[in-house]
């Protein structure tokens, strides 16, 4: 789980906040940098091809590795190839090609995520999903340390091209992990019915799309609307703010090396600590009662960035405090949220259902994040961070409703 978490986390920053640092360094306008946030909608629409990951066997690879590992390997190879291409480009003169390549990497990464999420849910029983989620977040954050601090250091000491070449090589960690990991036992969907191609296609649609959605609806019928609303709102403050964090720090006067040391390395231990606390809390108090502090922490961390922006001058001590707050809350919230999403899925349909939930989770935030650069131009950095914190208020109200019910009750 640690290795697969690393593989899933590596490409995310490389097409998101690390890439925005490269774009800012290359002199790309804020509005254009913010628009790169829309690339992240690829992760939000992965539910469109998740049924293929659930049902479609890949020639040769499926028989050799099994369904989950075969799809993970295909995604990982695509990520490595995309990063190698990206390392050869110049954003100042090839911005369109950079965007297209980043979109391809995001597509391969989202495909890998679908398979990894299904593998995690099916590899262990529900009682251990909190521990699995914590391990996943730990591996994910190690990868983010490499793709964040590591890439910034390499860019500071050499070039962005060298940084992305090294990141492509680190993609081999996922390949090795996939080859060594066991294929989990899983409930096989019913075989396709019908004699003609049309009948079999209709049968596939029922088993790959209708059946997973129907099973999810039946399982959560008593509180379906409230659950989906919280899924959609939980990560909005974090995602909208994250894409502009590195451009803010660079404009504030911090060097790439300082950002790597303070904002990445210092935050690494805080993130692991927050993820561990989240996993423990889920195991002892239940996942729904752990949602409220997760939502609250994400909003407070954005207010910490607002305080740093109001301070004005570069302040390593202030940045260190903000990093600790941001990463403790982020690690905690991620572990709790991943465990909650995992508990919502049904064995046999976990890839499609988890992809649906993660798509609902990221789509609203990604659509809004594309306007983040223009928002900074309009209101300035301090008010931008305050505004992103305020975006978490609806999620806070819904999480309070979840936390106010007993474990055996269904919130309404």
Given a contact cutoff of 8 angstroms between Cβ atoms, the answer to whether 243 and 43 are in contact is no
Given a contact cutoff of 8 angstroms between Cβ atoms, the answer to whether 304 and 325 are in contact is yes
Residues 6+ apart with CB under 8 A from 118: 53, 54, 68, 186, 350, 351, 354
Is the dihedral angle over the CA atoms 126, 129, 130, 131 positive or is it negative?
A: positive
Q: In this structure, what token pair is assigned to residue 52?
A: 């293929």
Cβ-based burial of 93 (10 A; exposed 0-12, middle 13-18, buried ≥19): exposed
Total domains in the chain come to 1
Q: What is the pLDDT of residue 173?
A: 94
Q: What is the pLDDT of residue 172?
A: 94
Identify the domain containing residue 248 by its residue range.
Answer: 2-184+191-403
Q: What is the CATH number of the domain that holds 216?
A: 1.20.1250.20
Q: What is the pLDDT of residue 19?
A: 94
Q: What is the pLDDT of residue 126?
A: 64
The CA distance from 220 to 206, in Å, is 20
Could you tell me if residue 344 is inside a domain? yes
Could you tell me if residue 409 is inside a domain? no
Q: Quickly list DSSP for 259-271.
A: IIIIIIIIHHHHH
Could you tell me if residue 269 is inside a domain? yes
Could you tell me if residue 174 is inside a domain? yes
Going by C-alpha positions, the residue among 98, 135, 99 that lies closest to residue 116 is 135
Q: Mean pLDDT for each 10-residue chunk of the chain (412 residues)? A: 93 90 90 87 82 81 86 96 96 94 96 88 72 82 87 91 96 94 70 63 71 83 84 89 87 85 77 86 83 89 93 84 90 87 80 79 84 90 93 89 54 42
Q: What is the pLDDT of residue 406?
A: 44
Could you tell me if residue 410 is inside a domain? no
Angle at CA 118, nearest 5°, toward 114 and 120? 120
Could you tell me if residue 88 is inside a domain? yes
Given a contact cutoff of 8 angstroms between Cβ atoms, the answer to whether 334 and 270 are in contact is no
Q: What is the pLDDT of residue 85?
A: 97
Q: What is the pLDDT of residue 71?
A: 93
Q: What is the pLDDT of residue 410?
A: 45
Q: What is the pLDDT of residue 169?
A: 96
The CA distance from 19 to 91, in Å, is 10
Could you tell me if residue 411 is inside a domain? no
Q: What is the pLDDT of residue 133?
A: 77
Q: In this structure, what token pair is assigned to residue 304?
A: 């910490």
The CA distance from 308 to 322, in Å, is 8
The CA distance from 39 to 367, in Å, is 10
Q: In this structure, what token pair is assigned to residue 287?
A: 């996942």
Q: In this structure, what token pair is assigned to residue 351?
A: 């890839």
Could you tell me if residue 170 is inside a domain? yes
């Amino acid at each position: 789980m640690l290795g697969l978490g690393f593989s899933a986390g590596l490409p995310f920053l490389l097409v998101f906040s690390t890439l925005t640092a490269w774009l800012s360094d290359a002199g790309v306008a804020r509005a254009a940098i913010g628009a790169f946030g829309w690339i992240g909608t690829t992760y939000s629409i992965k539910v469109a091809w998740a049924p293929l990951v659930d049902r479609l066997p890949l020639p040769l690879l499926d028989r050799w590795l099994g369904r989950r590992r075969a799809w993970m390997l295909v995604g990982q190879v695509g990520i490595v190839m995309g990063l190698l291409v990206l390392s050869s480009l110049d954003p100042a003169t090839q911005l369109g090609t950079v965007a297209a390549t980043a979109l391809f990497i995001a597509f391969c990464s989202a495909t890998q995520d679908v398979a990894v999420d299904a593998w995690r849910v099916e590899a262990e029983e529900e009682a251990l999903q909190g521990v699995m989620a914590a391990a996943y977040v730990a591996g994910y954050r190690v990868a983010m340390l490499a793709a964040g601090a590591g890439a910034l250091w390499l860019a500071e000491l050499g070039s962005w091209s060298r940084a992305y070449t090294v990141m492509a090589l680190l993609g081999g960690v996922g390949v090795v992990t996939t080859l060594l990991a066991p294929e989990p036992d899983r409930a096989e969907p019913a075989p396709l019915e019908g004699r003609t191609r049309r009948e079999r296609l209709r049968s596939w649609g029922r088993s790959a799309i209708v059946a997973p959605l129907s099973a999810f609806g039946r399982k959560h019928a008593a509180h379906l609307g409230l659950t989906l609303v919280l899924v959609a709102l939980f990560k909005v403050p974090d995602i909208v703010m994250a894409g502009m964090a590195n451009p803010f720090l660079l404009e504030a006067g911090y060097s790439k090396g300082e950002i790597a040391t303070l904002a990445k390395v210092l935050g690494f231990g805080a993130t692991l600590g927050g993820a561990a606390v989240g996993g423990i809390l889920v195991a002892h108090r239940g996942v729904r009662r752990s949602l409220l502090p997760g939502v609250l922490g994400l909003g407070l961390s954005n207010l910490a960035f607002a305080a740093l922006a109001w301070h004005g001058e570069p302040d390593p001590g202030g940045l260190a405090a903000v990093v600790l707050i941001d990463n403790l809350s982020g690690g905690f919230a991620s572990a709790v949220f991943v465990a909650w999403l995992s508990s919502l899925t049904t064995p046999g349909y976990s890839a499609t259902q988890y992809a649906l939930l993660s798509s609902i989770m990221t789509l609203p935030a990604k659509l809004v994040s594309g306007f983040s650069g223009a928002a900074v131009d309009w209101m300035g950095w301090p008010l931008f961070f305050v505004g992103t914190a305020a975006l978490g208020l609806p999620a806070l109200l819904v999480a309070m409703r979840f936390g106010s019910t007993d474990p055996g009750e269904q919130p309404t």
